[in-house]
Amino acid sequence: MTGQAGAARPAPGAAGPAGQPGGVPFTDFRADPSRYRHWRLECDGPVATLTMDVDEAGGLVPGYELKLNSYDLGVDIELYDAVQRLRFEHPEVRAVVLTSGKEKVFCAGANIRMLAASPHPWKVNFCKFTNETRSGIEDAALASGQTWLAALNGTASGGGYELALACEHIMLVDDRSSAVSLPELPLLGVLPGTGGLTRVTDKRHVRRDLADYFATKAEGIGGRKAVAWRLVDEAVPRARWEETVARRAAELAGRSGRPSGAPGIELTPLDKTRTGEQIRYRHVTARLDRARGVAEITVGGPGEDAPADAAAIHDQGAAFWTLAMTRELDDLILDLRTNELELGTWVIRTAGDAGRVLGYDRLLLRHADDWLANEIIHYLKRTLKRLDVTSRSLIALAGPGSCFAGSLLELALAADRSFQLSGVFEGAGPDAAPPVVHAGEMNLGPLPMGNGLTRLQTRFYGDQAGLAAAEKRAGEPLLAADAEQLGLVTFAPDDIDWDEEVRIAIEERASFSPDALTGMEANCRFAGPETLETKIFGRLTAWQNWIFCRPSASGPDGALRRYGTGQRADFDRKRV
C-alpha cells in the first residue's frame, strides 16, 4: 500500500470554537493513505517502509512552511493513521523501517513557526497526541511483534530524534555531518516535548551527565560517539547504508511471531456526523452542552450477541463491535480534546445489554492468541489510556438501561467520580430493572493503565483487602448498594436524590478553576509506580506545560518568538 496525496484537513466550514492556530474551526483526525501528503507506506512481505517526505506547503493551517521534514499536527495525524493500519491491515508485517525521503535530513522536529504562533492549549494538545503516537509505536513492538527500526539517513533534531527514540533500533548514517540532537533547551528555551529526555535516560539508559551535555548542544552528536553514548545503536557508512538497513530489518522481522499468511482487515472510514450540538457515530454519541460546559457522551453496547468463534471476528472486520466502538471513542476523545476546549466536564453513560458486552469480552480473551483479537484488545487498552491522560473532568452515570460491564466498566473506573442509581425511578413500570455494574475478566489484567496497573488495582492502591473483595465479586452483577460498599462506584443515590446530586456535581465542577482541576485529576488518576509513560505524561502535564507559559519561552522576547530573527532571547534569570 502506498499513500502520497492528501492529508487530514480542517473540515471546510465546520462550526466550532475559535482559538486554534490561524482560526481553524475544526480539526479532523480521520485520515486515509490515499490522501496522505507527508508519508509513503510501502509493504514488501514481512518488512514495511514508512518514508517521511513532508510537503513544505502542506501545513495544517497557513502561516508556516514545513521545511526539512519538520512537522505539525497534520503530519502526526497521518503518522498515527499509518501506525494503526500497519497493525490491522498488515499482519504480515513484522518490521517497519522508518526513514526519510529527503536528502541528508531525517526530520528537523516540530515546526518552530507553528509552535511560536500557536496558543498554549494547542501546543500542549499537540505534544500530548504526538506522545501517544510514539507510545503506540512502542506498543506495536511490545504487544504485537511489529518492531520499528529508525533508519536515520540524515540529521534527526528535536522531535525528529524523539520519533527515532520511539523505535526499538536506531541506525544513523555515518557521513561526518549527520547527527542526533535535542536542541530545545539551547535554541527554544523549552524541553523536548514528546518524551525525549525521559526516553534518553530511562529507555536508552544514557548516563545522566552525558544526557545533560547532549541536551545543551544544539549541534548534536553523531558517528561513533553517538553509539558509545547509547544515543543510537549503530552508525553505518553511507556506502553500506541500504544493504545494512535491509539486513537489520530482516533480522528484526525474523524474531517476530506475527502470522505470515494471514489477511488483514480494512479500517473502513468512520461514519461520523458532526454539528454544533452533537457528534454522532454508530455506537458512540456526544451531545455538546456549551451553556453548562459539558459533553454528554453515551457509548452503546452491542446490538446482538457475540459471534461463536474467532473466524467471525475476521469476517466482521472493522464492523466487529469492540473494534468499531473503540475506533469511534478514540476519534471522539481526540475531537473533543482538540476542538472543544471549554467543554471541561465529560459525563459518560452506557446503554445496552451487559451480558452482550461480557460476551464480546470473553470471545476476545478466549482467542487472545489470534492476531486480530490481540490487536483489538491492545487498541482498546491504548484508547482507555488516552482517556486517562485527557485533561477533562470525567463523571460516569450508571442509570436505567446502562451496561457498565467488563470493557465498558473501565469507563466508570477511569472516571473521577461515578454515580449508580439505587433502585428504579418512580413510575418506571413493573418491568423496570435497577442498573447494575459488572466486573469481568477484562477488568483483571488485559487493559492496564500507563502505570502498569489495572484500574481496579489503581483504585484500591494500598488496600489489598479492598482489591481482593472487588476482584472476588467479578462475574456478579452488582446493585448500587453492593457496588458502593465495594468501592466500585462513588455514590449510590436513589430516585429521589439522583437528579439533584448529579446536577450539583456537574455544576460544582464548572465553578472550579480548570487549571487546578487538571492538576488535581492528573495527580489522583495515577497512583502507584512510576513508569516511562507516567513520567512522560506527568512531566508534559506539569513542567512542559509550565515552561511553555514562561516569558523565557513564549514571551515577546522569549526564545520561541526570537528564533530565526538573529536576536538573542532575553531570559528571566530568576530560578523558581
**Domain map of the chain by residue range?**
21-254, 273-525
Q: Which residue has the cell 499482519?
A: 91
273-525 has the same fold as 21-254? yes
In order along its 576 residues, the chain shows pLDDT tens digits of 333 333 344 432 333 333 344 445 589 999 999 999 999 999 999 999 999 999 999 999 999 999 999 999 999 999 999 999 999 999 999 999 999 999 999 999 999 999 888 998 999 899 999 999 999 999 999 999 999 999 999 999 999 999 999 999 999 999 999 999 999 999 999 988 889 999 999 999 999 999 999 999 999 999 999 999 999 999 999 999 999 999 999 999 999 999 988 999 999 999 999 999 999 999 999 999 999 999 999 999 999 999 999 999 999 999 999 999 999 999 999 999 999 999 999 999 999 999 999 999 999 999 999 999 999 999 999 999 999 999 999 999 999 999 999 999 999 999 999 999 999 999 888 889 999 999 999 999 999 999 999 999 999 999 999 999 999 999 999 999 999 999 999 999 999 999 999 999 999 999 999 989 998 998 899 899 999 999 999 877 677 778 888 899 888 999 988 888 889 999 989 888
- CB count in 10 Å sphere of residue 261: 6
Reported as a single tens digit per residue, the pLDDT across 119-159 is 989 998 999 999 999 999 999 999 999 999 999 999 999 99
- CB count in 10 Å sphere of residue 487: 15
Q: Phi-psi bin for 19: left (phi > 0), alpha (psi -120 to 50), beta? A: left
Q: Phi-psi bin for 467: left (phi > 0), alpha (psi -120 to 50), beta? A: alpha
The span from the CA of 95 to the CA of 502, in Å, is: 49
Q: Give me 493's grid cell.
A: 443515590
Q: Within 13 A of 247's CA, how many CA atoms are on the CB side?
A: 6
Q: Phi-psi bin for 69: left (phi > 0), alpha (psi -120 to 50), beta? A: left
Q: Give me 234's grid cell.
A: 549503530
What does the DSSP 8-state code read for residue 203? I
Specify which residues 170 forms β-bridges with: 150
Q: Phi-psi bin for 189: left (phi > 0), alpha (psi -120 to 50), beta? A: left
- CB count in 10 Å sphere of residue 403: 26
Is 397:384 a contact under the CB 8 Å cutoff?
A: no
CATH number of 273-525: 3.90.226.10
What does the DSSP 8-state code read for residue 405? B
Q: Give me 27's grid cell.
A: 480539526
Give the CATH architecture of domain 21-254: Alpha-Beta Complex (3.90)
Is 195:131 a contact under the CB 8 Å cutoff?
A: yes
pTM score, two decimals? 0.94
The span from the CA of 235 to the CA of 492, in Å, is: 61
The span from the CA of 17 to the CA of 290, in Å, is: 10
Strand ordering across the sheet containing 417-420: 273-274, 278-280, 284-289, 294-300, 345-351, 393-398, 417-420
